[in-house]
Structure 1
Amino acid sequence: MRSGQRQWSQSERVWRQFALMELIMERMRVDPLVAARKCGGTVMADARNTCLGCSFHRDCRDWLERGSDLAGLAEFCPNAGFFRECRPNF
């Protein structure tokens, strides 16, 4: 495998994880402006980093496909509390 192929593979993983986070945020009805403004954006950056390194991405996909309730996300998602805090009705 050439190094360019490896870098592309890593880039694809990063974008897939970020896309998954966006889908979770939509499902949770997270207000993106609230999320982005929390502590000057540092909390959002931390959440993205957590998502990027998270080993539960399959659980996220399964949760999205099942249309599970919001409480079920907290069982595996390290960002569930952040998402809940950024909902308009919190």
Structure 2
Amino acid sequence: MRSGQRQWLQSERVWRQFTLMDLVMERMRVDPLVATRKCGGTAMADARNTCLGCSFHRQCREWLECGSDFAGLAEFCPNAGFFMECRLNL
């Protein structure tokens, strides 16, 4: 595999992981302004990095597809606490 192909595959993985995180945040009704302002933005950056390196992407997709509740997400997601802290107050 050429170097350019590896970079493209890595880029695809990054976008897939970020898309999953965005979908989870939407499903959890995370307030994007709260999330991006928390700790001056570092909490969101840390959450993105955690998601990028997360090995639970299959469980994450399954959770999104099944319509499970927060308890299901909290069982495997290292960002579950961050998402709960940043939820919209409805």
TM over 0.5: yes
TM-score (norm 1): 0.97
Runs of 4 or more consecutive aligned structure 1 residues displaced over 3 Å after TM superposition = none
Matched, 1:46 2:60: no
TM-score (norm 2): 0.97
Residue 16 of structure 1: aligned partner: 16
Aligned length: 90
Paired residue type of 1:30: V
Unmatched 5+ stretches in structure 1? none
Q: How many percent of aligned residue pairs carry the same amino acid? A: 86
d(CA) in 2 for partners of 1:39, 1:50:
16
Unmatched 5+ stretches in structure 2? none
Q: CA RMSD in A?
A: 1.1
Residue 61 of structure 1: aligned partner: 61
